[in-house]
Amino acid sequence: MKKIPLLLLVVICFWSCESRVRSHRLVVIGLDGLSVEGYQKAKHPHLDQLMAEGTLSLTTRSVMPSVTLPNWTSHLTASGPEQHGVVSNDWKLDNYTLPPTEKDEDGYFPSVFKVLKEQVPEVKTAFYYNWGNLINPINQRYLDEVHFEENDEYSVSYQKALDFIVEHKEKPTFVFLYSVHTDHAGHKHKWMSTEYISAIEEADKAIGNLLQELKAAGLYKDTHFMLITDHGGIEHGHGGVSTNEMNIPWAITGPGIQKGKLMTEPNNNPNTAKVISWLFGCEELPKSWVGEVPESIFE
């Protein structure tokens, strides 16, 4: 077998990496407590259509503990509780047990929003949520728009996200769009109850409306979308290490992403922020980040 010259290998590697499409716009859709079983049972035609254009994992692993704030923090900081120190839902900047391994100048563990703001010229960032504690570990100085919606409502958030995207359509844009209503349905009525499945299906309608509006505005084809969650559940709760709690859906679509693919490569929640950073071309990442970019998602 002939040896390939080192310089040629470098050129090939550089071309391969640079030829992948980087993102101009990325929307993360977060549905709290979305289990694999729930995803498989619920009827969600709009998500189905979206996933047909991308890559879906049904074996992504939560971090431990399998509760809300540690996992959403892991998604947005490419790290686990061992690094960011968020080990429970009541974490606050001035009230925690385990200090983070790295801090920004305000005392927060570095998030993907910080990375984007420091490395992507003119990037616009937004954070929409309806569970109050969710934003506690995130330094809001790196957010251009923040909106909190009470009582599990999320329709205003979806409209605000659409307006934000349209307003900044000429600039790099990252939108985090989250709802807790699916998780609360599980806690109140049990995971896999009729009410829980209905909550997933209701979210699909809102997602479908958002996608349709983006298509009408000519902003769909050049947008990357991610569907993420924090944990599954059993009976009325979660927090343990069963596969129903720890294995969850994770998906990505958009330019340069494998289409109609069921992902088998190992994946976990800390990978999310690493993928987002890569799609926006960020190269200088926090030393404390442990997430990886799953190579199999790319064409």
Q: Which domains does the chain have, with CATH numbers?
A: 25-297 (3.40.720.10)
Evaluate if residue 130 carries a pLDDT over 80: yes
User: Using an 8 Å Cβ cutoff, are 81 and 109 in contact?
Assistant: no
Rounded to a whole number of angstroms, the distance between the first and last alpha carbons of the chain is: 27
Instruction: Kindly give, in sequence order, each residue whose CB lies less than 8 Å from that of residue 91, ignoring residues fewer than 6 positions away.
Output: 69, 73, 85, 133, 136, 137
For residues 131-153, average pLDDT: 98
pLDDT number for residue 17? 39
* pLDDT band for position 274 (cuts 50, 70, 90): very high
Report if pTM > 0.85. yes
Q: What pLDDT is recorded for position 23?
A: 84
Contact status, residue 131 vs residue 118, Cβ threshold 8 Å: no
Task: Name the CA radius of gyration of the chain, rounded.
Answer: 19
pLDDT tens for 112-126 read 999 999 999 999 999
| Alpha-carbon span 273 to 266, nearest angstrom | 16
Q: Report pLDDT for 22.
A: 77
Average pLDDT for the chain: 94
Q: Model confidence over 182-215: pLDDT tens digits?
A: 999 999 999 999 999 999 999 999 999 999 999 9
Residue bearing tokens 């479908």: 208
Q: How many CA atoms lie within 13 A of 16 on its CB side?
A: 9
